[in-house]
Amino acid sequence: MSAEGGTKAILAALGANAGIALVKFGGFVVTGSGSMLAESVHSLADTSNQGLLLVGRKAAQREANERHPFGYGRNRYFYSFVVALLLFTLGAVFAVYEGIEKIAAPEPLTSPLVAVVILALAAAMEGFSFRTAVRESRELRGQRSWWQFVREATNPELPVVLLEDFAALIGLLLALVAVVLTLVTGDPIWDGVGTVCIGLLLGAIAVTLIVEMKSLLIGEGVTARTRERIVGELVGGRVTAVIHIRTEYLAPEQLLVAAKIALEPELGVPAVAAEIDEAEARVRAAVPEAHLIYLEPDLQRAAPQESAVRDADGSGVD
């Protein structure tokens, strides 16, 4: 994902959620719907979340220094993790609490048709934000499923925006169903049930994001496919095998690769240096995000094929 593309998706979500939050709060004031209030708080939390994502992208641009020699790229992971926590606390917990209150003491809705119109308008704006995020994600997703993309993406913003917008659209549908059932049956308890369902949905999305962002924040290596590609590029010329390899994303577009490689034993120092330079160039050409590559030459003490297979399938690495 380019910086411009990621920012575009975030700004689209920010504008849409800010407008939706205002519309929903207006609908809550008119109707008194608990589902509408839960959705209002959800949209307000999403608006704050997009702001935090922009702050994280800005903080990640700071230059590396002696205290942080690898830079500040992980700020994007940190702020995305904070966003997931806020989605859980401000969105899910509040909605479940409000829903339980509505079920325990149901209150009749006023002007429910107004709520229906507002939810339809909110769905249109949320759909615009979701389409933007989907469009910006297609190139990065490639042939992977959307679930694989969310699990494997090293750029944190698009998975966050995608899941937030998806949850928002489903939440709007749940709120609409709750309002319609309340209108048809005359029983306001459905409004509380809808609010609880929205809270549970937000909780599931938030937990998913928390798990994924935590993995990136504490240090995540490449996928098995990318590892195999790196190993394949390292072996070549007079590099006979990869003895072991470690990878870690220091930032979304900054991958650290550290490997011990076996070279032909008769090589002199100049030849070893040349082989290492060529191996690094091959890896960078195949995996552009591999900005930092540290290769240690060594003698092969294990069977080359066994070692290469072990590193390629991920046993004992990452």
The pairing of strands 292-298 and 239-251 is unpaired
Phi and psi at residue 58, to the nearest 5°: -65, -45
Q: Read off the pLDDT band of 243 (50, 70, 90).
A: very high
Same-domain check for residues 161 and 277: no
pLDDT band for position 35 (50/70/90)? low
Q: Determine the structural domain holding residue 163 and report its residue range.
A: 3-218
The pTM score is: 0.76
Residue 113 has pLDDT above 50, yes or no: yes
pLDDT in the model for residue 10: 86
**pLDDT at residue 310 tops 60:** no
Mean pLDDT of 64-85: 90
Identify whether residues 161 and 33 lie together within a single domain: yes
Give residue 261's identity as a one-letter amino acid code: I
- Please state the rounded mean pLDDT for residues 267-281: 93
- What pLDDT is recorded for position 290? 93
Q: Provide the mean pLDDT of the chain.
A: 84
Q: Which two tokens stand for residue 101?
A: 């209150």
Task: Look at residue 301 in the predicted model and tell me its pLDDT.
Answer: 66
Confidence tier at 227 by pLDDT (50, 70, 90): very high
Residues 211 and 242 in one domain: no
Do 162 and 280 sit in the same domain of this protein? no
Question: Number of structural domains, the chain?
Answer: 2
Categorize the per-residue pLDDT at 231 as very low, low, confident or very high, splitting at 50, 70 and 90. Answer: very high
Question: Do residues 173 and 274 share a domain?
Answer: no
pLDDT tens for 119-152 read 888 888 888 888 888 888 887 888 888 888 888 8
- Mean pLDDT is highest, among 45-49, 122-126, 159-163, 227-231, for 227-231
**Same domain for 185 and 232?**
no
Is the model's pLDDT at 309 over the cut of 50? no
Here the CATH number for the domain that contains residue 303 is 3.30.70.1350
pLDDT at position 193 over 60: yes
Task: Give the CATH number, domain containing residue 140.
Answer: 1.20.1510.10
Average pLDDT of 307-315? 46
Query: Measured between alpha carbons, how far is 12 from 133 in angstroms, rounded to an integer?
Result: 8
User: Could you report the per-residue pLDDT of 78-99, keeping only the tens digit for each?
Assistant: 999 998 888 787 778 888 888 8
